[in-house]
A and B are shown apart, each in its own frame.
Chain A
Amino acid sequence: MNEKPNLLTILDVVAGLMILVAAGLVFFYVPVEVMMGSVQKVFYFHVATAWVGMLGFLVAAIAGVVYLRKGNLLWDIAGNGAVEISLIFFLTAIVLGSIWARPIWNTWWTWEPRLTTAAIVELIYAAYLLLRQGVDDPERRARFSAIYAIFGFFSVPLTFISIRMLRTIHPVVIGSAEAASQGGFNMDSPMKLTFFFSLAAFTVFFADLLWHRIRLGQLRAEVDVLRIDSYSKGE
């Protein structure tokens, strides 16, 4: 398992190419949106990164459930990896969203449901990582973080619903006149193509990173075992 699998190398290349193509589509292919101008192009990567941010949450919760049932630490590494990656992607999504919101909503930040939920998810991710840091025994750490990921997964939709019940101005993209006044717009086919391709590209990129992260976790566990063994031989 120390060898890097060929499939992973292939996935690296595919992910890299897809990101490049997606960027190419965004910059050179997709037409500029009439109302908002070129800043709208942020949207393609914004949604894609946010999607990956949420995907990580889902992966962490599923990995948590599987870990609790099977007890294989591999699932703990996967859950942790998904959270670490998604933390970065979600942050990117928030920053991209801000760049878009500044000219369109005339503010960097607003307490809008999706934005607020995004911020809360980031905080849950951060809490998750702090929890892991505070527990030394690997199995206990795995159990606690699995439970926390599952609880977060239940809590976030409820948070979203409750904030949505409070207020909303986020554009619901493909849609109504009301949405248009808040910065929503209709997507024509090049836009749709670019949009879905970006989603796919970032999903593959996520899978690639997660695989790397899992490998890293496994290698680290192996190193730990070797180190401990060398201590006990040295006695």
Chain B
Amino acid sequence: MKSYLNAIRAVIWKDLTAEWRTRENLSAMLVFALLVILIFNFALELDIQAQESLSAGVLWATFIFAGTIGLNRSLAVEKDRGCLDGLLLAPVDRSVIYFGKAIGNLIFMLLVEIIVLPVYSFLYQVPVFQPGFLLVVVLGSIGYVAVGTLLATMVIQARTRDILLPILLFPLSLPVIIAAVKASQGFLLMVPLTEISAWLNLLIVYDLIFTAAAFMVFDFVVEE
């Protein structure tokens, strides 16, 4: 168990070190996220009245688009110099790779969110800094990354790897997106917690089911 956790930590450390050096992935995700917000601003004419009901949707669309970029890139790196084989050759359970990569991806996604949220809050005076809202951000990101990491690992082994990820990932992650949008909206509009709790439950259920399912099938994604 100790060496299992150590190996996961090694994979995360490796991703963070490489990213810290180039900051390629993070900056791409971040710039992309800001561009998405900008586009929404003009596409939806987000004035102070409109944004009250739309903020949650805009934010999640932003996170999800940026997340896709990050996921694709994070797994593509593993394919570049055959590194995926390098990981597969290590005498550790394959789920180490899944959890290592998934946690790394989650960290990247949360980092982007940590930067985007204050910016959004500053631009539109949205009260995003409440524990409930932040909890939704974390839960939603977990579900998205849990499925996204698995699918991205599949996608990088496909011939059409540049286009496939969003096509596969978006329809499967709809429950997360809907629940996360509704729950965040609830917190932003100060709806009583009893009305939000169903959405939170849905998020938790999704996170649990899909993390477990991804853990169970990951072997099949990487074996030959």
A residues bordering B, Cβ < 8 Å? 68, 120, 123-124, 126-127, 130-131, 133-136, 139-140, 143-144, 146-148, 150-152, 154-155, 158-159, 161-163, 165-166
Contacts and interface: CB of A to CB of B under 8 A. Distances in A.
B41 interface: no
Interface in B186-213: 198-199, 202, 205-206, 209-210, 213
B220 A146 contact: yes
Please tell me the size bucket of the interface on B. 20 to 34
B168 A127 contact: yes
B135 interface: no
Contacts of B175: 155, 158-159, 161-162
B174 A147 contact: no
Nearest to B160: A134
A114 to B, nearest CB: 15
A130 B159 CA distance: 11
A162 B178 contact: yes
Given A127-B167, A127-B171, A134-B159, A161 B202 contact: yes
Chief secondary structure at chain A's binding surface: helix
B179 to A, nearest CB: 6
B171 A120 contact: yes
SS class, residues of chain B in contact with chain A = helix
Given A155-B175, A162-B178, A147 B221 contact: yes
Given A147-B220, A150-B213, A159 B154 contact: no
B198 A148 contact: no
B120 to A, nearest CB: 24
A163 B174 CA distance: 10
B80 interface: no
Given A68-B220, A134-B164, A144-B221, A124 B178 contact: no
A123 B166 CA distance: 12
Closest 5 CB pairs of A and B: A134-B160, A158-B175, A134-B158, A162-B178, A155-B172
Given A131-B164, A143-B221, A166 B171 contact: no
A151 B167 contact: no
B47 interface: no
Contacts of A134: 158-161, 164
Given A134-B158, A148-B168, A162-B179, A68 B217 contact: yes
Contact of B172 (A126, A130, A151, A161): A151
B147 interface: yes
